[in-house]
């Protein structure tokens, strides 16, 4: 099971893995639907459908993913079917994890740890691009560009603050207002 979870995460991305397993990253209904549409666009690849079949079998579900490539269905019908399938897989995943002796609290704790680690990595990815902008322009950007890695807790841009000798990227969730999940990146001022 861990191999499949890691493969889904690697092949389909963290947001998709979170959506499929029903864990972690908080998304609005609109974000979930958008993510499902992105998933359907990628699922025209046979290896992706095969990966999902393996995962559904591992959690005890016999799901036919043929609807993803069914040209007789409209996008709206495929999206509705995808919502149903995702819900079935989420429920089966929770049951499967509980049969391994993991409580939902321990699964949730492991996932939170993973998202925290992802926040650190994403902040470093974003910081590198900010440093590159600074090297090219001679100054930090006033606002974050759209293409940077996102805050994994919310799926939105990091909070961005410029200080005298650094810039700070922070997660947008209300639980981080007291300074947690804020990442400081120092800059060297040019000496004249």
Beta bridge partners of 186: 166
- What is the layout of strands, in order, in the sheet containing 159-162? 159-162, 166-170, 182-186
Query: What is the pLDDT at residue 64?
Result: 75
User: pLDDT tens, position by position, for the chain (192 residues)?
Assistant: 555 566 666 666 666 666 666 665 666 777 777 777 777 776 666 677 777 777 777 666 777 777 777 778 787 887 788 778 777 777 777 666 655 555 555 566 666 777 788 888 999 999 999 999 999 998 999 999 988 988 887 888 898 999 889 999 988 876 555 556 788 999 876 655
167-187 core/surface letters (b: 16 or more CB in 10 A; e: else)? bbbbbbeeebeeeebbbebeb
Question: What is the C-alpha separation between 89 and 73, in angstroms, rounded?
Answer: 21
Q: Sketch the domain layout of the chain as residue ranges.
A: 2-102, 105-186
- Residue (of 25, 22, 27) closest to 59 by Cα position: 22
């Amino acid at each position: 099971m861990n191999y499949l979870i890691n493969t889904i995460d690697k092949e389909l991305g963290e947001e998709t893995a979170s959506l499929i397993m029903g864990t972690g990253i908080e998304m609005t209904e609109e974000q979930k639907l958008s993510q499902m549409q992105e998933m359907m666009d990628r699922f025209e690849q046979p290896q992706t459908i095969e990966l999902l079949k393996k995962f559904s079998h591992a959690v005890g579900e016999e799901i036919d993913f043929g609807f993803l490539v069914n040209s007789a269905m409209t996008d709206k019908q495929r999206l509705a079917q995808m919502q149903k399938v995702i819900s079935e897989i989420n429920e089966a995943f929770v049951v499967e994890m509980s049969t391994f002796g993991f409580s939902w609290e321990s699964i949730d704790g492991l996932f939170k740890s993973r998202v925290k680690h992802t926040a650190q990595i994403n902040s470093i990815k974003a910081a590198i691009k900010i440093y590159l902008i600074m090297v090219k322009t001679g100054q930090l950007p006033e606002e974050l560009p759209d293409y940077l890695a996102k805050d994994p807790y919310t799926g939105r841009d990091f909070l961005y603050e410029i200080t005298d000798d650094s810039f700070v990227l922070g997660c947008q969730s209300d639980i981080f207002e007291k300074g947690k999940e804020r990442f400081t990146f120092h800059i060297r001022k040019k000496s004249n």
